[in-house]
Structure 1
Amino acid sequence: MSSYGNPRSSSRPWQAHVDMYRKLPVDLMEGSRRGSMLSYLSLMLMVVLLFWETRAFFQTTLVTDLALDISDDPKIRLNFNITMTDLRCDWAVIDVVSVLGTDQNVTAHVTKWNVDATGIRKGYRGRNRNQKDIVLFDEAVTESIEDLHANGEDAISLDETTLEIFKKEHDYVFVDFYASWCSHCKDLAPTWETLAEVMIDAGKSDNAQGTGKMHLEDYSEEDYRHAENVKMPVVIAKVDCVTQPKVCNLRENIRAYPTLRLFIDGKPWPGGSDYKGHRTVRDMVDWLAHMEEQHKSLLEQQGGEAEKARILHKAHEATRQRLGDDESEAVAWRTHQQNSMRRMYQEWKEAEHPGCQLSGHLLLDRAPGNFHILARSKHHDLAPHLTNVSHMVNSLSIGDPMAGMKVISGEAVVPDGVRDKISPMDGNVYTTMNLHESYHHYLKLITTKAPGLQVGRRDLKAYQIISSSQLAYYRNDMVPEAKFAYDLSPIRVSYRQFSRRWYDFCTSILALIGGMFTVVGLVESSIQATVSLSRRGGRSYRR
């Protein structure tokens, strides 16, 4: 009887398929299950790979290229803001040295600010400040210092004790702080002695004897008339800082020679007590008259007495008696012993150590060289052991400031480590604690180009700085300097962004799909062959 006529078969039509499936070989059934599992695994793997591939397509990578640094610009720009913590603006100069030449006392594009001992920048601002050219001595004084001393010294020599006595006993004391080895001091000595004679004789013109003009042949009539404008008596004195280092270095903080300082009522004049004009008798007398008028105005404002009755020649004679006639008393005044130079240097008085902030930019040759900040004066000889070039680097960078700002702000696309190398010295303080030493800095400059370093159609260049610093030691007769040596790397670093093309992405997708099916097929075939071989081996063993 046919199965189609069987009522049981017609009521259960799917049973035939079940029976047929049960009659299939065991190998075929296991192969189907294995294929399904591999299909699911390959599909999951394909989805993951497609996700990663798509993500990589939309991302960009940074590629680094190295090439020779070739530039048509013969100069590079160095931007700086450096505070010299113990160097006055009057003496702070910048020199630039390269293998192509030397440029001393650079003032173009440089601004100086006076900084007080606490580090506060003062309001006074001097742009491109030059050391003023002054007359270093009076050419009208033709006599030597020995000839002028033939009938006695009129400029009174003071020491630690006598200086304090004269400051207490006299309203005006004009002191020349000098050093015996100083060339400018030697040139000034005859002029200073003549100034003392002029002031003494001018003060004697009103005395009872009416002598006046005792040494008129030693100076001109015009100088004498200028001296008569000074109504108050002024003591002209001098201090040798070689034999009196304590009073010069500790008390008066003398750093350069000669320093001409006026004491009024025992103290330096707050408006500026150091004379910085032409070192001629006439100019110095006019300055003394001007300072006298300022002092009188201050006394009148304070309600004090403007005129004081003092006779200069009496004070002068008393002083000469102390220092000349009574030599034993003078020797007694010189019994105080001075401390060593190193001890003096370490006894720090904040109020006596103003600083200077230098800011601006330099145009340097594209060649190895250096720039250094040091103390130098056209009109003074500086004491090397008192020159302190401790400094703080507020900012220092190379190239266009806009390029550096773009790198630091993140507008330029560079690796993270590059940002720290644009201004690696910013905020560093380099303080020297001993005499005759200073910090030297060595800068390796690497030209850098990157995406985002554009302003309009102009491409900017940034410069990475690899810096190192070390303490340098100087001879006792050399003035220390803060030195910044630089050298350009011959290799330029360029960064560029790289992203995949769309056709590259499509090709990768097709290759991924085709490769996945191929790999799954190979795996399935390998597994099937391995299972078949193992089963044949099992049947042979049972036989």
Structure 2
Amino acid sequence: MMALDKTGSGLLQINFDVDVHDIECRNLQVVVFSQSGKERLDVLGEDFWLRSIDAAGKTFGVWIKPQEYQWQEPEEDGHDKVMQKVRQEDGAEEIDADWSSSHDGFKHKSFEHVIQGHDFTFINFFAGWCSHCQKFAPEWDQIAEKVHGKGDAPGMKFRDKDGIERPIRLIKLNCVDFKETCAEKGIDAYPTLRLYKADGSFTVYDGRRGEAEIIRWLEKMAKMRGYGWGKHHETFERGCNARGRLQVPRVPGHLELMAGGGDQNLNPRMTNVSHTIKHLSFSDAQDDAYSRKTPLLAARLLQQGWKRFPGDVTRNLAPLDGRKFVTSGFHQAYIHDLKVVSTVAGTVTTYQFQHLARISKLPEAAIPQAQFHYDLEPFSIEVKTDEKRWYDFGTSLCAVLGGAFVVFRLASRLSLHLSASLKPGAKAQRGGAMSIGQFE
């Protein structure tokens, strides 16, 4: 039956489990806005968490052992000879110079030559407009002065895997002036700190940007062999799994997995909010059967409650589960439009929804966001089951038995008629029936 929605609760619960493949957890927020998209709605109940996922889509964090990459040992190919050749061709000053500006008097022709010209190169990819970069700049200069040495103070040496002391060169690279280089290297947030080996493999620093922490990390990584290094930026791509539930006002709005707001400034061109929806559903916020459970248990209890509904209803309770939404170009984002209808069976209230997805093309300066716009229909669907009395079953059974008897009787008479007509000497009886021997 269909009637006006008379749900007494003023809250709606959104249950979600979504992987955002290319945004780190420190740069991801889960927020709910009004239908206009300008007013941020007060979330009355929050019970969700974020966990990192690696390039293979595996979650890791405090409770899950991180995925250990099987790194390949870099090949030794006469590095010292290559380094000497590059430094002779380009000049030591060119190789050691910061890439802080395209008008600083240096050529800055080859990023690869800078890497090949040093045993280790620690690069700070930054943008002048980035507030986090501006805040980190004095600390970077202080670290560079300590590592390189200044005046009579000697520079620092770091022991490598063989116990040989080697220098590390710190270089700043301006991603505004050298945007093509940064795009080629997959730099999507600022500042990004990478330590390169001369063979082109590198590792990423993602800890606290303090002098003591960075120097300890450099000492540790210089000793590493193959583990923790890779030659392509996709090796270090990290995403985030957002899982849990939110209790929001029972009005139209949109849930947003918002990229940004962390301790980095995102590059709008390189920000990718492609995602996989493991689970998305709506439920009654007052249902204590699962509202106070962990999100994983809540999903199981939700599915148990759904068994009360017929199949044509349950197919629409979580139709997006297991689906991927991947953008193929820059400045794009998926926007999901959901039409939500409350559905009641006895004391259980759940919500069906219809889904339409579209790709939004954004301005170059805008950060892409994954959005789920939901609109609540003013009517509700009530599912009722009509039961039959015991004597209805008896009557139906008698009718079936009687019908079966009549069918068998007709079939037997027809078979006798056919067999008699095929025998010689058969006599016709009244009404067209045939008699064989003593059969009446």
TM range (shorter): 0.5 to 0.7
Structure 1 residue aligned with 2:191? 258
Tell whether the 8 Å contact from 2:5 to 2:342 is kept in structure 1 after alignment. Answer: no
Q: Whole-Å Cα distance in 1 between the matches of residues 262 and 44 of structure 2?
A: 14
SS in 1 for 2:144: helix
- The counterpart of 1:117, out of the listed 31, 52, 55, is 55
Structure 1 residue aligned with 2:6? 69
Does residue 89 in structure 1 map to residue 89 in structure 2? no
Tell whether the 8 Å contact from 1:118 to 1:350 is kept in structure 2 after alignment. Answer: no
* Greater strand content: 2
Matches within 5 A, 1:73-472: 74-98=10-34, 102=40, 108-119=46-57, 121-125=58-62, 156-157=98-99, 161-201=109-149, 204-206=152-154, 233-251=167-185, 253-265=186-198, 270=203, 273-278=204-209, 283-284=210-211, 286-295=212-221, 298=224, 350-351=234-235, 353-399=237-283, 401=299, 404-406=302-304, 408=306, 411-412=307-308, 414-451=309-346, 459-472=347-360
Cα distance per residue 1:413-463 (max 9 Å; x no partner): x34311111111112221111211111111122221114xxxxxxx33211
Distance 1:505 1:352, change over 3 A: closer
* Counterpart AA for 2:50: K
Question: 1:503 Cα shift?
Answer: 10
* Counterpart AA for 2:361: Y
Q: Whole-Å Cα distance in 2 between the matches of residues 163 and 194 of structure 1?
A: 24
Tell whether the 8 Å contact from 1:203 to 1:233 is kept in structure 2 after alignment. Answer: no
Q: Whole-Å Cα distance in 2 between the matches of residues 402 and 187 of structure 1?
A: 46
Structure 2 residue aligned with 1:529? none
* Counterpart AA for 2:178: Q
- The counterpart of 1:485, out of the listed 368, 373, 376, is 373
Tell whether the 8 Å contact from 1:421 to 1:466 is kept in structure 2 after alignment. Answer: yes
Q: Whole-Å Cα distance in 2 between the matches of residues 106 and 258 of structure 1?
A: 35
Q: Whole-Å Cα distance in 1 between the matches of residues 140 and 44 of structure 2?
A: 33
Tell whether the 8 Å contact from 1:261 to 1:275 is kept in structure 2 after alignment. Answer: no
TM-score (norm 2): 0.65
* Counterpart AA for 1:289: I
Question: 1:125 Cα shift?
Answer: 4.4
Q: Whole-Å Cα distance in 1 between the matches of residues 44 and 184 of structure 2?
A: 32
Question: 1:101 Cα shift?
Answer: 5.5
Question: 1:496 Cα shift?
Answer: 1.6
Percent of aligned pairs with the same residue?
26
* Counterpart AA for 1:366: R
SS in 2 for 1:351: helix
Q: Whole-Å Cα distance in 2 between the matches of residues 169 and 124 of structure 1?
A: 36
Cα distance per residue 1:372-416 (max 9 Å; x no partner): 1132143222111111111121211111546641355xx30x343
SS in 1 for 2:303: helix
Cα distance per residue 1:78-117 (max 9 Å; x no partner): 1111122332333222121136962699995323333333
* Greater helix content: 1
Tell whether the 8 Å contact from 1:95 to 1:106 is kept in structure 2 after alignment. Answer: no
Distance 1:189 1:66, change over 3 A: same
SS in 1 for 2:205: coil
Tell whether the 8 Å contact from 2:54 to 2:60 is kept in structure 1 after alignment. Answer: no
Q: Whole-Å Cα distance in 2 between the matches of residues 438 and 126 of structure 1?
A: 31
Q: Whole-Å Cα distance in 2 between the matches of residues 254 and 402 of structure 1?
A: 40
Tell whether the 8 Å contact from 1:160 to 1:246 is kept in structure 2 after alignment. Answer: no
SS in 1 for 2:24: coil
Question: 1:245 Cα shift?
Answer: 2.5
* Counterpart AA for 1:274: Y
Q: Whole-Å Cα distance in 1 between the matches of residues 269 and 110 of structure 2?
A: 26
Cα distance per residue 1:174-205 (max 9 Å; x no partner): 21111233333344434433433343335842
* Counterpart AA for 1:113: R
Tell whether the 8 Å contact from 1:83 to 1:357 is kept in structure 2 after alignment. Answer: yes
Distance 1:194 1:349, change over 3 A: closer
SS in 1 for 2:193: strand
Distance 1:126 1:204, change over 3 A: farther
Distance 1:243 1:104, change over 3 A: farther
Query: Structure 2, unaligned stretches of length 5 or more?
Result: 65-95, 101-106, 160-164, 284-289, 291-298, 395-440
SS in 2 for 1:384: coil
Distance 1:290 1:430, change over 3 A: same
Tell whether the 8 Å contact from 1:94 to 1:105 is kept in structure 2 after alignment. Answer: no
Tell whether the 8 Å contact from 2:99 to 2:108 is kept in structure 1 after alignment. Answer: no
SS in 2 for 1:492: strand
Q: Whole-Å Cα distance in 1 between the matches of residues 43 and 181 of structure 2?
A: 31
SS in 2 for 1:289: helix
Q: Whole-Å Cα distance in 2 between the matches of residues 71 and 168 of structure 1?
A: 68
Q: Whole-Å Cα distance in 2 between the matches of residues 232 and 104 of structure 1?
A: 55
Q: Whole-Å Cα distance in 1 between the matches of residues 182 and 44 of structure 2?
A: 31
Distance 1:203 1:446, change over 3 A: farther
Q: Whole-Å Cα distance in 1 between the matches of residues 380 and 61 of structure 2?
A: 42
